[in-house]
Amino acid sequence: MNRPADRAIETMERRGIFQVVDLAHILREKHADYQQPNLLDNHQFQQAFQQQQHLLDQIPATTAESGDNMIRSRASDPLGGDEFESKSGSENVDGVSVDDQDPNQRPRKKRYHRHTQHQIQEMEAFFKECPHPDDKQRKELSRELGLEPLQVKFWFQNKRTQMKNQHERHENSQLRSENEKLRAENMRYKEALSSASCPNCGGPAALGEMSFDEHHLRIENARLREEIDRISAIAAKYVGKPMVPFPVLSNPLAAAASRAAPLDLPMAPYGGVVPGDMFGGGASAGELLRGVQSEVDKPMIVELAVAAMEELVRMAQLEEPLWSAAAPALDAPAALETLNEEEYARMFPRGLGPKQYGLRSEASRDSAVVIMTHANLVEILMDANQYAAVFSNIVSRAATLEVLSTGVAGNYNGALQVMSVEFQVPSPLVPTRESYFVRYCKQNSDGTWAVVDVSLESLRPSPVLKCRRRPSGCLIQEMPNGYSKVTWVEHVEVDDRSVHNIYKLLVNSGLAFGARRWVGTLDRQCERLASVMASNIPTSDIGVITSAEGRKSMLKLAERMVMSFCGGVTASVAHQWTTLSGSGAEDVRVMTRKSVDDPGRPPGIVLNAATSFWLPVPPKRVFDFLRDESSRSEWDILSNGGIVQEMAHIANGRDQGNCVSLLRVNSSNSNQSNMLILQESCTDASGSYVIYAPVDVVAMNVVLNGGDPDYVALLPSGFAILPDGPAHGGGLQGADGGGGVVGSGGSLLTVAFQILVDSVPTAKLSLGSVATVNSLIACTVERIKAAVSGESNPQ
């Protein structure tokens, strides 16, 4: 074992790989040894040689090949082999050819040339940018670093292998950890199953001992838990974050405003408030998100949303005895369905629990086929801005406070978000309803989509609860040719004792905030959006705008006008109305706003004035009278008796009353320039609107040519016409303040003006401006009453 040949064999056996190239040298050395005298005789030499040959015959071919490859790679690869891997590729090897050696000399020891720190850093930096350099890049890098291109190539190959191994080790570690968690969870489930007991006798339970109904209940319970687990997994990353509480609804400025004199009217910024100002009397959005008073349990929200979804789908599909409908009136589109409260409590014991004391239950359901795909409908409902724009006559403000889940598979399936919304009726006599709820969207197994809201007021401190939203929303079924069938359910509990008498019958019937109003508005808005995309516009009609860009710009401008009108006429908590008394008018309310740096409104002080009253005339007659340009001079004082002519119009619905018009007032006084008026009239089963605003001639020419309508200054005024109650309902004698009967088929008319009283935003409001606006609205009301009631025109 002291001979060099034996030591070489021992080394090869220890490594497990015979270096075949070195075998020639070993044999030469052995042969040389036996040439020396007094060492071994010829018989011993042959014995040793046969023993080594036997060992070589036992080497597998693959092992020999791998050894051969290893020697070649070690001779040329700076990073190859186990010895070099520990050196991180920083060494190079100079091998000496066996054929060039003297048989009588011992082989020279291999020399290692370590790469310099600069070379390593440069190759590391280049590897981060490009792990797979091409030939040109390798040659360039080798010239810069003073290396051979082959050395650079092998360095990058081994670096990639090293990174791959590290990545695989990291993945294995993660999978091992995940496997341990699953094993532990499996053990917990097994222990829970083994300790299950019968609820009746307390003994161990078996599936065969369960009744048929109990078995199905357990299956249903498992399905619901799977639904909860799925949504909880989506929202898991949000667990632990503070939820936005619903702040106390208090606005001390409103009370002060009601007692203020006209010259001390509180000024409000024009255009509403930021989402943070929505509740709490002016807190910023950041203060609202930071003002956390209690931690909201996210799993509780998820479980509440899943239960609400199940309830909504069943309420949308079930008929009697849950829902009952009276016979519709002759002129009514359909009968209003009434919810059986006892049946509801029996069928849906979960959820928000029993009705709270002092709140009135209000439930309604309606359906319609609308010209819009289910995907677009879902997007509108899940986007707070689109939601507020499409339902601008019902939603005064909407804000998404927190998104718990954005959905899966690239759509809104499973989307979950916390919202705060203020619902309105276009009149300062009906208080708005603020609601704080979670909105959940889901695609059902039958392909239908559902979007449900359920209140979260129980999860936040509130001294007074005026509105609680039970599971409400819509079920959307896809129809051919881009249509969808929408079934809407509205179910709330409210305190509506502060509603004015003339609106009580409308509100109590569910028409003011109910499903029919939502469905009617959605149907009309879908027709309006379809008209924007229409390409088959008849060119024979006079005044029809045929340019696609012109139609789109004009409809966008009209949409902004309608939203501005609806947002400035309600009894929102952001509005600080002051009632003018002693004027002889019917409770005219005024409010001032400042307009600064808003290209969509003229700068200065704007005075809003609004009043609501009852007319013993059907809503359709009032709507046709107010939208007709030929009868405009009978009520429009600002037109000065001029002739009103329609220059252009865009039809945006089946009803001929749904259109956007551009009117020109030809003044009888030659000294006055002609005035343009943009007007939109719209009607559906829940109500009608006629909204208009004076516009600049130059600006409208830009809009008609497809220009940007956002820079056209508007101050909209107009009318909101609602029925005074259900068509088949009884009336309230004297509820209008006189001898009329509200609910006998009459109309509730709201008149609202926005007038620029001073072009300087810092100017003081004069008493004369308030008196002028008050006189204007009072005179307009009297003219409308005289015209539609058949009375003689005022002098």
Closest alpha carbon to 298 in 220, 223, 402: 402
> What is the sign of the dihedral through the CA atoms of 298, 300, 305 and 306?
positive
Q: Cα separation of 773 and 638, whole Å?
A: 12
Contact 612, 749 (CB under 8 A): yes
The mean per-residue pLDDT over the stretch 213-221 comes to 73
- What six digits make up the tokens of 310? 């199940």
Tell me what pLDDT residue 23 has.
45
Triad 94, 96, 102: Cα angle to 5°: 155
What kind and span of H or E run contains 213?
helix 212-234
Ranked by mean pLDDT, which of 439-443, 674-678, 762-766 comes out on top?
439-443
Q: What is the DSSP string of 38-97?
A: TT--HHHHHHHHHHHHHHHHTS-HHHHHHHHHHHHHHHH-TT-HHHHHTTTT-EEEE---
Integer Cα distance of 664 and 673 in angstroms: 11
The per-residue pLDDT for range 431-459, each reduced to its tens digit, is: 999 999 999 999 998 999 999 999 987 66
- Give the three-class secondary structure for 579: strand
Greatest mean pLDDT among 206-215, 316-325, 481-490, 545-554 lies in: 481-490
Distances (CA, A) of 690 to 458, 624, 631: 40, 10, 13
The answer to whether residues 270 and 598 touch, using CB atoms and an 8 Å cutoff, is yes
- Length of the chain as a residue count: 795
Report the half-sphere exposure of 455 (CA within 13 A, side-chain side). 21
What span, in angstroms and rounded, lies between the C-alpha atoms of 751 and 717?
Answer: 8
Sorting pLDDT into bands at 50, 70 and 90, what band is 117?
A: confident
Would the pLDDT of 359 be above 90?
no
Of the candidates 251, 440, 434, 469, which has an alpha carbon nearest to the alpha carbon of residue 355? 469
How far is the first Cα of the chain from the last one, in angstroms, to the nearest whole number?
A: 136
**Predicted local distance difference test score (pLDDT) of residue 721:** 95
Q: What percent of the chain has pLDDT over 90?
A: 28
Q: State phi, psi for 679 to the nearest 5 degrees.
A: -135, 135
Radius of gyration of the chain (CA): 42
In the numeric block, which tokens belong to residue 435? 């609601």
User: What are the DSSP calls for 229-257, one per residue?
Assistant: HHHHHHTGGGTTSPPPP------HHHHHH
Band (pLDDT 50/70/90 cuts) for residue 29 is low
Contact 601, 713 (CB under 8 A): yes
**110-142: burial string, b at 16+ Cβ within 10 Å, e else:** eeeeebeeebbebbeebbeeeeebeeeebeebb
C-beta of residue 437 within 8 angstroms of C-beta of residue 455: yes
pLDDT beyond 80 at 539: no
Does the pLDDT at position 188 exceed 60?
yes
- Confidence band of 168 (pLDDT split at 50, 70, 90): very high
Determine the Cα–Cα distance for residues 522 and 386; give it in Å rounded to an integer. Answer: 12
Residue 325's pLDDT is: 78
- How far apart, in Å, are the Cα atoms of 114 and each of 73, 87, 89, 91? 16, 9, 8, 4
The pLDDT of 37-48, averaged and rounded, is 48
Contacts of 203 (CB under 8 A, 6+ apart): 197
CA angle 475, 374, 227 (to 5 degrees): 55
Please, which pLDDT band fits residue 233 given cuts at 50, 70 and 90? low
Strands (E), 170-273: 267-269
What are the Cα distances from residue 77, in Å, to 82, 97, 140, 354, 467?
12, 16, 19, 79, 77
Residue 646, amino acid? E
Cα 370 from Cα 387, distance rounded (Å): 16
* Token pair belonging to 134: 């091409």
State the pLDDT confidence band at 262, using cuts at 50, 70 and 90.
very low
User: Of the candidates 364, 266, 791, which has an alpha carbon nearest to the alpha carbon of residue 577?
Assistant: 266
**589 or 98, greater pLDDT:** 589
Local confidence band at 764 (pLDDT 50, 70, 90 cut-offs):
confident
**pLDDT value at position 587?**
80
Mean per-residue pLDDT for 592-602? 81
Q: Alpha-carbon distance 616 to 745, whole Å?
A: 7
| Residues in a beta bridge with 439 | 417, 453
3-state SS assignment for residue 428: coil
- 364-374: burial string, b at 16+ Cβ within 10 Å, e else: bbbbbebbbbb
pTM exceeds cut of 0.75: no
Whether 429 has a pLDDT exceeding 50, the answer reads yes
Residue 504, pLDDT above cutoff 50: yes
- Fill in the amino acid letter for 251: N
**Residue whose pair of structure tokens reads 């619903």 in the numeric block:** 246
